[in-house]
Structure 1
């Protein structure tokens, strides 16, 4: 068989293989997948989408084990008491890793995955994407978060994003209309999924640019995966390279990651889907958390501005309401409601988490396969994180 015919056969086979993945992607967002199908999909790094590699580099940070391994812990949630087995089984956890001061105190794999399995990040990618904005500011490729988006993305002039600052974008307070309901086939989030399935370059940005403005920039918080796609376009415009390459250059290749990761694309040679679609191992997600806990230092380089992490991970006032959301990071309060630990998390639908507690030097990484995008957890994850902090004291 000639090389031409062989390449055509490979392309044809890949197209056929992508058909069920596309159908399953829709069903996953609708919360309609049965467990065995969902597990296979969450281990699939492509879902029928083009991807770009996030290259690792240098020696692996082996993450030494703590002298004492945590065997169990008491979890207080919703006025009830649970144990580790409850959290793992009831919340359909596939991977769990707890670290204290850079040492692994507990590592568990289930549901057919292991330490080498790359698992979908879902919206944890949002927190990674906004961190790249901090890196670009440190590199003086972006002036500050007070600058207008249109300075870097002139194609947004005359759209609802005209007059929106980088800070507004990072806080999801642009005032641009968006419904992020995954289970609603008519929502903007599901329309974005369809555009991603279509794999046409530039289609998602055109869709975002056509959305109406419903509030003044900075006045209303509205969770929007669309905003994060604009973050990805901003990274590309400011740095001149793709998000995956910039992530590799600034962080992934410098903090001892064990594996290359991948990132979904809107189309072959197109933008990353910055709001979701990173595929990495449990330990590498934990290593990213360790990078954040260490103040944004990779090797001997200060990758992020020194004040960036505190600014990006704190609650803030938006209009008349306090919003427990930073630059696409979620602040995590202690059981008494205080934020004195400075704890925060990246989180994604179906139960994906990187929890970081800088004060206690605790990192928790969680990979899950829950039945619905949101609200399917039996035990609240923040309650588990706070219980883990107590157990690791």
Structure 2
């Protein structure tokens, strides 16, 4: 019989008031509630109560590989905490309101290499590893840059099939590495997350089926839709080819290459882990990396530092200038990606903010970001030397009003840090 049961059964009603404090102090503390972790097959339709627990325990649902950190941890000093007030829907709101309204579970803002704001919610803390969703697309493209710097990939102008001959004879014939980085291959792809018949969902089903090499075969069987280099089409499948390319060019897994070139050298706090297409298989180059909030921030600082670690150039000189700019007049310029008024452009798997008169408030000057569904952001503002990392559990994969509110909040933080 537990202490709690004893207190409930042994005390007469007339004595409860006298003995309540003694009973309460001696009772066994209630057990912690177990994590609510959803099923892998329900990943895109999880009830909100299951999102946070699932997003921090992806290694319990999918095959993964470790991205090892190094022996030393790079310091991430703090500065005075910035007070942020932003405006939305005719209201002036603070940090706590932003997090509550947008189901934000982690928020980090770095200015001049120092943490200016760090907050957690929904059971997360500094040790939590949270899934990136499509934020990892930009990390994968950075690994391509590292391979170019090492000479493992001769040029982004090379045909992709030089490194992935499995794609010869299909829609990727004549497509360059750069066109893949820019999602401009011209290959047909349906990204709709909640359509069971879409190419994205087919890719997810193949991952769950644990069939080695199935994702690359899926890509080899796609059809052309446009001339390469003329049209943007957002494709998680195409981003996965970055991982396949890294493996083919370097002879290393993407996890090991990320560890060797960046993660260990940069002094990350924790190992990360990366989802695979099958047991002991290939990393999903477009999704599925899990790391801590501060380690995502450190990666952002590496990008802000032009891809140099302790004086060693990891990325080619000029790589980030090319990766985070669109050629003027091209189909990748901000405002030209989609019909309508969507403001962002696209680089080497980085989203590009508009500049000049079209700029969003406080985001002018070559700002770019990595972004994942359900509200994940890695924002980099080179002119202001600001990095922002946001983790969220939005109820839908894509929510324009939440995205714009996130930009409003980050913009207000940039302004407050000036």
Q: Label 1:181 to 1:79 Cα distance change in 2 as closer, same or farther (>3 A).
A: farther
Matched with 1:380 is 405
SS in 1 for 2:59: coil
Matched with 1:69 is 81
Deviations 1:341-392 (A, max 9, x none): 2211111111111111111111111111111111075452222222111011
The alignment status of 1:194 with 2:205, answered yes or no, reads yes
Q: Any stretches of 5+ residues in structure 2 without a counterpart?
A: 1-35, 338-344
Provide the C-alpha distance between the structure 2 equivalents of 1:151 and 1:132, rounded to a whole number of angstroms.
18
Rg: which structure is higher? Answer: 2
The alignment status of 1:329 with 2:341, answered yes or no, reads no
Provide the C-alpha distance between the structure 1 equivalents of 2:379 and 2:331, rounded to a whole number of angstroms.
28
Q: Label 1:178 to 1:47 Cα distance change in 2 as closer, same or farther (>3 A).
A: farther
Provide the C-alpha distance between the structure 1 equivalents of 2:106 and 2:285, rounded to a whole number of angstroms.
23
SS in 1 for 2:298: helix
1:134 to 119, 137, 145: 145
Pick 1 or 2: higher relative contact order, CA cutoff 8 A, min separation 6. 1
Matched with 1:35 is 48
Provide the C-alpha distance between the structure 2 equivalents of 1:97 and 1:377, rounded to a whole number of angstroms.
21
Matched with 1:50 is 63
Provide the C-alpha distance between the structure 2 equivalents of 1:344 and 1:171, rounded to a whole number of angstroms.
14
Q: How far is the alpha carbon of 1:105 from its aligned partner?
A: 0.8
Mapped contact 1:91–1:377 kept (Cα < 8 A):
no
Mapped contact 2:141–2:181 kept (Cα < 8 A):
yes
Matched with 2:31 is none
Provide the C-alpha distance between the structure 2 equivalents of 1:82 and 1:183, rounded to a whole number of angstroms.
32
Q: TM-score, normalised by structure 1?
A: 0.89
Provide the C-alpha distance between the structure 2 equivalents of 1:252 and 1:372, rounded to a whole number of angstroms.
31
Matched with 2:370 is 346
Paired residues, what number? 369
Mapped contact 1:311–1:326 kept (Cα < 8 A):
yes
Provide the C-alpha distance between the structure 2 equivalents of 1:27 and 1:284, rounded to a whole number of angstroms.
28
How is 1:107-122 mapped onto 2 (pairs within 5 angstroms)? 107-122=118-133
The alignment status of 1:368 with 2:395, answered yes or no, reads no
Q: TM-score, normalised by structure 2?
A: 0.84
Root-mean-square deviation (CA, aligned residues, Å) is 1.9
Matched with 1:5 is none
Mapped contact 2:212–2:278 kept (Cα < 8 A):
yes
Matched with 1:164 is 175
Matched with 1:17 is none
